[in-house]
Chains A and B, each alone.
Chain A
């Protein structure tokens, strides 16, 4: 394996930040790429992520500022940032697919960071965020496989599958990990239909889809319904929260007995495009 050691400056800044938070008695846990690394994955080349409670963020910022960190409050609403020696440390209270609670932090286990014991998020939590963050422009399965090899016995695979079910790239990764023998077989879904009935599933989905279009309260044409076992996964865009709930209600009417996983996104309140986004469609002659 290539050199496993991350940038020594990054380690130094991490240890400094950890020291400040411990001194202040602020509960936290290593998250993101550095947690992956500490759990056996490749070294992080990006930044340091620390998970903490939202209610502790302000106190952590003050303590880190007093210790010489430059602090930044970005508008994202799920993290704040501190800098030292050119290294960025993200203090995150809502990583993808997760909300940092006392319970999440209690599940953290100490890992060895360059001789220093540092609590790191449970492998299931780290993998949840990592898998949900996969996108076509950043599809590094290599690092994830390396990490999974290291922590596979500590992962709650059924829980991880449940949390990441709506993300096709996450499902692909978990399939690949299964083919490589890294994950246990998933619990088989209880059989709902006999062999002769399975072909009705397509018709059932289509009937439901058409009901969403033809329901006079909705006229919703672009919600996609995927049936898996006894769960109905809904994806697509709706305009308001009311309509999102109505979509689920209409699906429930047509698919009694199915548990509905409403992963539709709401489009209300879309921002104005940034001034730089204007596209020039023709040069002067």
Chain B
């Protein structure tokens, strides 16, 4: 069994120093890895990343993270990522990492992801260059996520996002802003790539639990949603992640059978 701790939208900065550390000191007694689902800083300033790095240094489980939109705000995302990598956090963007846990392997594929919207109300690569650019960014990140997931040959696969892959976990947010909160292309990538668990953040007023169209578990771990320092999920090493059917593109109907936990 694999115990995953996850949290997003910490929005850390020097003013929050000391608030997180006490709750992570014994994390290794409860979890095998910690996933950080983006918006790690307030405005993506390197000094905010440095404050977070100091706070997380010494957490005794492997940490894997993606950046969120806030972490890009100061146009210094590369520095932010480098500072966090400096304390051993694996930063993902369109790639993946394999974490060995108790003799099993957990593959984590990560991307910030982007907006666009959901089935029936999604933007398209049409019209002004800005609109094409917007939607192409969303599509590219989803395609890379799918490739990273498909390329993982691990006992369990997890997708780590900042933006939402399905509308379920946005319940509570205003419908008008759904296209800024996530994109169904991410959900398709999860369904085709076969992730037992997908965690994301970004939607502070959303809800924790949802499913992709293909029936894969999605959890919104934005801190205001979960109301705790992190959430804990238990995955089984001989579960869905190893199912070869999940890696093949298929219709939603077929995926519902292949992807749903037994």
* Interface residues in chain A, defined as those with a beta carbon under 8 Å from any beta carbon in chain B: 216, 218-219, 222, 236-237, 239-240, 242-243, 267-273, 275, 277-285
Q: Tell me the residues in window 220-262 of chain B with beta carbons closer than 8 Å to chain A beta carbons.
A: 223-224, 226-236, 238-240, 261-262
**Subset of 14 A-B contacts with CB under 8 Å:** A218-B42, A218-B43, A239-B15, A240-B16, A272-B23, A272-B229, A273-B231, A278-B30, A281-B217, A281-B233, A281-B234, A282-B235, A284-B239, A285-B238
A284 contacts which of B13, B205, B236 (Cβ < 8 Å)? B236
- Pairwise interchain contact A273-B43, C-beta atoms closer than 8 A: no
Which 9 A-B residue pairings sit nearest by Cβ, starting from the closest? A282-B261, A219-B43, A278-B232, A282-B239, A237-B224, A268-B19, A273-B228, A280-B234, A222-B204
B81 shortest CB reach to chain A, Å: 18
Please encode chain B, from 50 to 68, with 1 for each CB lying within 8 Å of some chain A CB and 0 for all others: 0000000000000000000
How far is B156's CA from A285's CA once the two chains are assembled, in angstroms? 13
How far is B10's CA from A222's CA once the two chains are assembled, in angstroms? 13
Asked if A283 meets B262 with Cβ closer than 8 Å, knowing A268-B19, A270-B23, the reply is: yes
- Pairwise interchain contact B224-A267, C-beta atoms closer than 8 A: yes
New A-B contacts (15) at CB < 8 Å, excluding given A239-B11, A240-B13, A240-B16: A216-B43, A219-B11, A240-B19, A269-B19, A269-B23, A270-B23, A271-B229, A272-B228, A272-B229, A273-B230, A277-B231, A277-B232, A278-B3, A281-B261, A284-B236
- Pairwise interchain contact B70-A219, C-beta atoms closer than 8 A: yes
Q: How many contacts A-B (CB < 8 Å)?
A: 93
Residues of B within 8 A of A283 (CB): 236, 239, 261-262
B96 within 8 A of A: no
How far is B24's CA from A271's CA once the two chains are assembled, in angstroms? 10
- Pairwise interchain contact B262-A239, C-beta atoms closer than 8 A: no
B19 shortest CB reach to chain A, Å: 4
Asked if A279 meets B229 with Cβ closer than 8 Å, knowing A240-B15, A285-B238, A285-B262, the reply is: no
- Pairwise interchain contact A275-B30, C-beta atoms closer than 8 A: yes
How far is B16's CA from A158's CA once the two chains are assembled, in angstroms? 38
Residues of A within 8 A of B148 (CB): none
- Which of B30, B224, B234, B235 has most A Cβ within 10 Å? B224
- Pairwise interchain contact A278-B16, C-beta atoms closer than 8 A: no
Asked if A219 meets B42 with Cβ closer than 8 Å, knowing A239-B16, A240-B15, A240-B16, the reply is: yes
- Pairwise interchain contact B15-A242, C-beta atoms closer than 8 A: yes
Residues of B within 8 A of A (CB-CB), count: 37
Residues of A within 8 A of B197 (CB): 281
How far is B231's CA from A201's CA once the two chains are assembled, in angstroms? 40
Residues of A within 8 A of B73 (CB): 219
Name the residue of chain A whose CB is nearest to the CB of B234: A280
- Pairwise interchain contact B23-A282, C-beta atoms closer than 8 A: no
A238 shortest CB reach to chain B, Å: 8
How far is B106's CA from A131's CA once the two chains are assembled, in angstroms? 48
- Which of A216, A272, A281 has most B Cβ within 10 Å? A281
Residues of A within 8 A of B212 (CB): none
Residues of B within 8 A of A279 (CB): 231-234
B196 within 8 A of A: yes
How far is B230's CA from A273's CA once the two chains are assembled, in angstroms? 7
Residues of A within 8 A of B261 (CB): 281-283
Residues of A within 8 A of B232 (CB): 273, 277-279
A115 shortest CB reach to chain B, Å: 46
A208 shortest CB reach to chain B, Å: 17
How far is B231's CA from A283's CA once the two chains are assembled, in angstroms? 19
Residues of B within 8 A of A269 (CB): 19, 23
Residues of B within 8 A of A285 (CB): 238-239, 262
B210 shortest CB reach to chain A, Å: 13
Asked if A278 meets B23 with Cβ closer than 8 Å, knowing A270-B227, A273-B228, A283-B261, the reply is: no
How far is B42's CA from A243's CA once the two chains are assembled, in angstroms? 10
- Pairwise interchain contact B238-A284, C-beta atoms closer than 8 A: yes
Residues of B within 8 A of A236 (CB): 204
B154 shortest CB reach to chain A, Å: 14
B97 shortest CB reach to chain A, Å: 20
Residues of A within 8 A of B204 (CB): 222, 236-237
A151 shortest CB reach to chain B, Å: 36
Residues of A within 8 A of B229 (CB): 270-273
How far is B234's CA from A270's CA once the two chains are assembled, in angstroms? 21
Name the residue of chain A whose CB is nearest to the CB of B237: A284
Name the residue of chain B whose CB is nearest to the CB of A285: B262
